Amino acid sequence: MRSYAKHIARRFAQFLLVVFIGINLTYVITHMTPIDPVEQSIAAVTSFGNTSPEAIAMMRQSLRELYGLTGGPFEQYINFWRRIAIADFGPSLSAFPTPVSALIARALPWTIGLLVAATLITWTLGNLLGGLAGYYHDKRSLNVLAVIAIGLHPVPYYIVAFVLLVMFGYVWPLLPIAGGYGMNMEQGFNVPFVLSVLKHSILPALSLMLIGLGGWFLGMRSLVSNVVSEDYVVYAELAGVDRRRILGSYVMRNALVPQVTGLALSLGAIFNGAIITEQVFGYPGIGSLLVSAVYAGDYGLVLGVTTVSIVGVSAAVLIIDLAYPLLDPRVRVA
């Protein structure tokens, strides 16, 4: 039990470190800019029409306070952290006067839903198939699968999503290619709406899965083919234990441990992929929000999405790390 507590403490410290370094990185990037973000935002707003000089001066003052550009360097730094701690990024410039945090809160469930569903399916399926391919390494169908996995795995998310978009958008219009649900639909928990959401999520999820599957498949296959030659597996086989049971509880269970660590380590990259995919398919998550915020010149929204992403991904990694001892009893007892 004490070692479990130690495990939790260490993982939690790592979580804090990730958030600390990540937020500092955004601070450095935003404050090392050669361009004044405030002047840039004002230029974006005033370009739409005539604004009186007094109004511009007022806007400049409030924006300076908002982005923590007033006071000394230390004061700025503290203010930056204070705003992030209470998740206050001010009103969005592109969707004035809606607060940035409200926009993010609206978009976040879409991203989390897509990401969790796609990742869970991909990880489970990839490991299962990879385990089978490693254990029965002379099966032809599984080797064909390996070739497909090798071909798809290295292609970046954008390209796969884009090819799917072209295929289902222009060549064979079968599935909806844009949005998160049908147009003019009342949002609510009823059957047609849920069905529409599911249907709209097929393509984004599919493009995430097509890429993700290969990595888990190849990783699991090589792990399993190493475990298979261990003495205890040979012993179990000689003792006449059922092959399926050997694969399930002797081989796969041991090979899964590094794959869970792998999931925690690659979550950041999967998240990158998810927000890119969202943008391609116009999915109403924070990826689309981020890109449209850049086009609209909405500084607060870009900063908000970036910090929320850093905190969110590291929190997800923390959750995986905390569940880790369930799979690997050595952390519990050692």
Partner 1 sequence: MLTTLRDLLRYNAQFRIGAILVVSVATMAGLSFVSPYSPIDTFVVAPDMPPSPAHPFGTTSRGQDVFWHLTFAIRNTLAFGIIVAVLSRAFSLTIGLLSGYKGGWTDRVLMSINDTFIVIPLFPILVLFYFVMRDRMSWTALALIMALLGWAYDARLIRSLAMSLKTREFTHTAVFSGMSTREILVREHLPYVMPIVFSTTMNNMNWSIGLEVTLSVLGFTDINAPTIGGMIYWANQHTAMVAGVWWWIAFPVVLIVMLFIGLFLLAVSMNEHIDPRSRLQRMGAGGGT
Return the biggest CA–CA distance within the chain.
88
Which one, 181 or 208, has the nearer CB to partner 1? 208
Is the distance from CB of 297 to CB of 93 less than 8 angstroms? yes
Q: Token match 């001892």: residue?
A: 325
User: HEC profile for the chain?
Assistant: CHHHHHHHHHHHHHHHHHHHHHHHHHHHHHHCCCCCHHHHHHHHHHCCCCCCHHHHHHHHHHHHHHCCCCCCHHHHHHHHHHHHHCCCCCECCCCCCCEHHHHHHHHHHHHHHHHHHHHHHHHHHHHHHHHHHHHCCCCHHHHHHHHHHHHHCCCCHHHHHHHHHHHHHHHCCCCCCCCCCCCCCCCCCCHHHHHHHHHHHHHHHHHHHHHHHHHHHHHHHHHHHHHCCCHHHHHHHHCCCCHHHHHHHHHHHHHHHHHHHHHHHHHHHHHHHHHHHHHHHCCCCHHHHHHHHHHHCCHHHHHHHHHHHHHHHHHHHHHHHHHHHHHCHHHHHC
* Nearest CB to partner 1, comparing residues 21 and 174: 21
**CB closer to partner 1, 250 vs 271:** 271
**Whose Cβ is closer to partner 1: residue 88's or residue 197's?**
88
Cα dist from 270 to 72, 90, 119, 188, 208, whole Å: 38, 29, 8, 29, 8
In whole angstroms, the minimum distance from the beta carbon of 52 to partner 1 comes to 27
CB of 279 to partner 1, least distance (A): 7
Of the pair 181, 213, the CB lying nearest partner 1 is at 213
Please give the residue ranges that form the binding site for partner 1 (CB under 8 A). 14, 17-18, 21-22, 25-26, 29-30, 32-35, 37, 40, 137-138, 143, 146-147, 150-151, 153-159, 162-163, 166, 169-170, 218, 222, 225-226, 264-265, 267-269, 271-272, 275-276, 279, 290-291, 294, 299, 302-303, 305-306, 309-310, 313-314, 317
306 torsion bin: left (phi>0), alpha (psi -120 to 50), beta (else)? alpha
Query: Among residues 246 and 290, whose Cβ is nearest to partner 1?
Result: 290
> CB of 298: closest distance to partner 1 in angstroms?
9
CB of residue 320 to partner 1, shortest distance in Å = 11
Shortest distance (Å) from residue 260 CB to partner 1: 14
CB of 60 or CB of 137, closer to partner 1: 137
The nearer residue to partner 1, 71 or 156, going by C-beta atoms, is 156
Minimum distance of partner 1 from residue 54's CB (angstroms) = 28
Tell the smallest beta-carbon distance from residue 274 to partner 1 (Å): 9
Provide the minimum distance between the beta carbon of 193 and partner 1 in the complex, in angstroms, as a whole number.
29
What minimum distance in Å lies between the beta carbon of 276 and partner 1? 6
Tokens of 230: 């261990």
> Which residue, 181 or 289, has its beta carbon nearer to partner 1?
289
> Hey, what amino acid is at 37?
P
